[in-house]
Each structure stands twice: as structure tokens, then as C-alpha cells.
């Protein structure tokens, strides 16, 4: 066993024994460069160990789990979807996965049907309320943006996709910067640090919970950020103009604040909450929500949607209609 493997195993042992990542770094006396190398090794060892365990679980009686082969298929699916700045929603069922798997076989002609399916999963009023009450209101670095997300959600249901998109857009970077540990009184981190935030997640947590799905989500988010959201405009246009810089500076005349791009942002932010839960090993408060806690807000959002059956200022001025939500 190499020195890197030995230290990687020791990192895993210490974290599994209840030590914090910061205390592990101090105890092992590792420099920044050494931590990068050994934390990366620990993450890969931890990932492969979980793959092996899952393989064993597949043959156990009365044990139901997503197989390694299915996980590889989800990785491939998300990799293809990410070419279109899309991701499989976190609350997708196996049936949804199978539908998406069929649809990606006929891309690009099936793109609109894929977005329709992803939108129906992601933008259902019950899902939005579950995310708000179970995650956005509870999770550090997300809770400060709850009202902005409320405003964006209401704008979406009123078919004001321009307001929805421009309201959600800064939340991605604002959350990442806070997640990195920066406060409003400090100098903003370097752009490269932000761009590589998900790729370098092992530096913050080499042993995340549910590491196989964690790996799926960080790879997908890394691709979305680097090939679309943060893609330098000097390197060409991002897919569907899904790009922070384009929206911030209105750099071209093409549409960017579209319904489709609103869905892309909601999916991305939802997946960021999933990564945060696995990385920090936090409680998922969605599982404790009752129907009574959610009922009023679900009704409120449903009523807002139904309001589009009548002619509205958004329909008149923005050229939208109830059909945009169907």
C-alpha cells in the first residue's frame, strides 16, 4: 500500500470515528498541497469501497438498492443532459429515469419533451413547498435566500419568467460563496475557486454520505457550471444562453430569461441542496414534514397557477399564457 493510500485510509478511519475534517487535517499535520492529494485519495477509496458494498448488497435477500450498473447509467444520463444544461431532478422516480433514458436517445429533437418532463417533476407545487420548508428554510447558506426563492417561484407560476430567472440567478453564486466560508465583509473568492467548487468537494468532505449519488451530483453540477453557467463568453455561447455573465451584462440580443432556463435554475439549486446534505451529513427535514404544514402554501401556489386561466398583465405585456405552465 502506497503512502497516499495509507494516509487516505487513516483520513477515512478518523472521519468515521467522528472527527471533523478540520481536526483530521490538524491531527495529521498536512499542508494544503498534501491535503489536496490525500483527501482526493481518501475520496476515491471511500467511493470504491461503497461500490463494492453495494455490489454485495445486490445479492442479499430482502435488500433493495440501486445497482452499480444503474448508477453508471444515471451518470451517463446526467452527462448527456448536462450538454443541454439540464440534470435529472433529485426527486425523480425510476419511471422518470426510464422515460429520460428513452428520450435522450432522440436528442436534440426530444429536448422540449425532456424539459417538459423535468419541469413537471421540479415545478409541481407540492415539490416546491417541500423544498422550501424541508430545505431552503432549514439549511445553512440557503436559508438567507428563502424569500428570493419565494419571489422567483411566484413569478414562475404567474408566467413572469424574466423576473423568475433574474431573481434566481444570483442565488447560485451567493450560496457557493457562503458555503466556501466567506462573509459579506471579506474579499470575494477568486473566480477559479468558485468555478471548481463542486469538482473540489473532496477537500471539504472526503467521506460524504451516500457517496455514489453524491458523485453523480457533483460531476453534473461541475459540468453545468463550467460548460454553461460560468463559461467565458470569449469561448462562445453557453447552451440556450444559460450563463450568469450574459444575464448580468445583457451581452447579446438572444433570449436568456426563458421558462426553460428557469427550470434549469430550479433543478440546479435543488441539486445543490442535495450535495450540501450529503457533504455536511445534515438532517433532511423534508422527511419530517406533515401534510398540514404544507397544505396552505401548496394551495396558494396552485391558486396562483389557476389564476393564469384569466387574462393577466403578464399575458398582455410578456406574451405568455396558461399553456406555458401545462
Report pLDDT digits (tens) over 31-85.
999 999 999 999 999 999 999 999 888 877 666 778 999 999 999 999 999 999 9
pLDDT at position 308, please? 87
pTM: 0.95
Helix 161-179 and helix 259-280: axis angle, to 10°?
20
Same domain membership, residue 129 and residue 36: no
Same domain membership, residue 225 and residue 143: yes
Which comes out higher in pLDDT, residue 131 or 325? 131
Q: Is residue 15 part of a domain?
A: yes
| Rounded CA separation 52/129 (Å) | 37
Full domain range(s) for residue 177: 124-325
Same domain membership, residue 301 and residue 165: yes
Q: Is residue 71 part of a domain?
A: no
Q: Is residue 105 part of a domain?
A: no
Which comes out higher in pLDDT, residue 252 or 208? 208
Which comes out higher in pLDDT, residue 127 or 233? 127
Inter-residue contact 50 to 213 (CB < 8 Å): no
The mean pLDDT value of the chain amounts to: 94
Same domain membership, residue 35 and residue 139: no
Domain's final residue, options 11, 43, 62? 62
Q: Indicate the number of domains in the chain.
A: 2
**φ/ψ of residue 224, rounded to 5:** -60, -45
Q: Is residue 243 part of a domain?
A: yes
Domain's final residue, options 16, 46, 62? 62
Same domain membership, residue 51 and residue 144: no
Q: Is residue 156 part of a domain?
A: yes
Q: Is residue 305 part of a domain?
A: yes
Measuring CA to CA, how many Å separate 15 from each of 8, 116, 135, 215? Answer: 11, 42, 25, 18
Amino acid at each position: 500500500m502506497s503512502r497516499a493510500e495509507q494516509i487516505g485510509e487513516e483520513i477515512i478511519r478518523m472521519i468515521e470515528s467522528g472527527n471533523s475534517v478540520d481536526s483530521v487535517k490538524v491531527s495529521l499535520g498536512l499542508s494544503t498541497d498534501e491535503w489536496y492529494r490525500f483527501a482526493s485519495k481518501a475520496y476515491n477509496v471511500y467511493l470504491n469501497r461503497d461500490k463494492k458494498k453495494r455490489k454485495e448488497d445486490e445479492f442479499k435477500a430482502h435488500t433493495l438498492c440501486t445497482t452499480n450498473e444503474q448508477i453508471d447509467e444515471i451518470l451517463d444520463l446526467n452527462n448527456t443532459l448536462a450538454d443541454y444544461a439540464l440534470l435529472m431532478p433529485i426527486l425523480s422516480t425510476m419511471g422518470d429515469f426510464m422515460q429520460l433514458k428513452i428520450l435522450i436517445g432522440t436528442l436534440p429533437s426530444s429536448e422540449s419533451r425532456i424539459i417538459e418532463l423535468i419541469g413537471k417533476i421540479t415545478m409541481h407545487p407540492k415539490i416546491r413547498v417541500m423544498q422550501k420548508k424541508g430545505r431552503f428554510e432549514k439549511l445553512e447558506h440557503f436559508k438567507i435566500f428563502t424569500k428570493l426563492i419565494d419571489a422567483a417561484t411566484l413569478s414562475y407560476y404567474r408566467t413572469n419568467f424574466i423576473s423568475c430567472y433574474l431573481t434566481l440567478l444570483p442565488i447560485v453564486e451567493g450560496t457557493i460563496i457562503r458555503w466556501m466560508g466567506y462573509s459579506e465583509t471579506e474579499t470575494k473568492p477568486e473566480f477559479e475557486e468558485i468555478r471548481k467548487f463542486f469538482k473540489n468537494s473532496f477537500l471539504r468532505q472526503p467521506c460524504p454520505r451516500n457517496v455514489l449519488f453524491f458523485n453523480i451530483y457533483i460531476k453534473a453540477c461541475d459540468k453545468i457550471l463550467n460548460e454553461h453557467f460560468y463559461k467565458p463568453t470569449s469561448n462562445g455561447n453557453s447552451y440556450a444562453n444559460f450563463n450568469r455573465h450574459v444575464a448580468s451584462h445583457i451581452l447579446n440580443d438572444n433570449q436568456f430569461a426563458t421558462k426553460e432556463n428557469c427550470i434549469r435554475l430550479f433543478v440546479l439549486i435543488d441539486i445543490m441542496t442535495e450535495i450540501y446534505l450529503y457533504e455536511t451529513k445534515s438532517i433532511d427535514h423534508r422527511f419530517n414534514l406533515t401534510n398540514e404544514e404544507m397544505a396552505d402554501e401548496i394551495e396558494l401556489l396552485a391558486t396562483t397557477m389557476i389564476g393564469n386561466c384569466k387574462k393577466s398583465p403578464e399575458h398582455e405585456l410578456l406574451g405568455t399564457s396558461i399553456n406555458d405552465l401545462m
